[in-house]
Amino acid sequence: MIDFGLKDKTVLITGASRGIGFGLAKAFREAGSIVYGAGSSLESAAPLKEIGVYPIKLNVRNREDCQEAIQTIIQKHGQLDVLVNNAGVASNTPAKGIREDEMEKIIDINFKGVFRMCQEYYKAQKKLGGNIINVSSVLGMIGTPLASIYSGTKGAVLQLTKSLALEWASSGFRVNALCPGFIETDMTKMISSRPKLKEQVSASIPLKRMGTPTDLAGAVLFMASDLSSYMTGQAIVIDGGLTAQ
């Protein structure tokens, strides 16, 4: 494995109980980092223990949870080196039928939750600096039917990433984003559990397959490491060529 220089670095990943977050938590552990993996509940985060990750409860809709998780890590280790804002929810509701509560939930988790975490991290470490990686999506760059609010939040995360990168660069913070394409997780089960649909989706991707959380690890470890020390306000797209078409 490439040495990213991440041994003993402290890392907090939201939404690490499963899917992409779980895969990234595993990759950071393999790189020797001290990893805190959050689920929206302690029960959902519990399986992280098996891969050497400290499980914590962190509902990104709750500011106290955001504050407490960051403070706990800083008190214990002196600083939080990397924050990965990965928690997110999707919906497949046609635009005309999206209710206020559904819209509010997606925006609150995918956009406001990312901002809350960035803000609490900055406040806690404004003298130390930091490294933030926000998980956006290719749907923050291109449109698709049935994902209007989700796409909107992911586009907003890309703009947030750029703005915070500029506002906080002088405080020693780097802020970057990841834009995954179709990755096989619970979020895309509705595709991967239907063989015909999965085949169609795979055929639409130049590399002819959906991705896995492992496909994202190298880019995230790179952004977390000093190998990317001159990079901020940018996004890396890992989508099998989908958005290159």
Catalytic positions: 150
Of positions 10, 21, 118, 176, contacts ligand NAP by CB under 6 A: 21
Give whichever of 62 and 169 is closer to ligand NAP, judged by the CB atom: 62
Question: Cα-flanking dihedrals φ and ψ of residue 83, to 5°?
Answer: -115, 120
Q: If binding is defined by CB under 6 A, does position 240 make contact with ligand NAP? A: no
| Cα→Cα distances 79→24, 43, 48, 76, 147, Å | 20, 26, 21, 8, 37
Cα–Cα distance for residue pair 107/121, rounded to 1 Å: 20
Q: What type of residue is 110?
A: N
Q: If binding is defined by CB under 6 A, does position 161 make contact with ligand NAP? A: no
Give whichever of 137 and 148 is closer to ligand NAP, judged by the CB atom: 137
Query: Looking up tokens 């490439």, which residue turns up?
Result: 2
Q: If binding is defined by CB under 6 A, does position 44 make contact with ligand NAP? A: yes
Of positions 135, 147, 177, 238, contacts ligand NAP by CB under 6 A: 135
Between β-strands 173-180 and 82-85, what pairing exists: parallel, antiparallel or unpaired?
unpaired
Cα–Cα distance for residue pair 214/232, rounded to 1 Å: 23
Give whichever of 89 and 128 is closer to ligand NAP, judged by the CB atom: 89
Q: If binding is defined by CB under 6 A, does position 103 make contact with ligand NAP? A: no
Q: If binding is defined by CB under 6 A, does position 61 make contact with ligand NAP? A: yes
Q: If binding is defined by CB under 6 A, does position 60 make contact with ligand NAP? A: yes
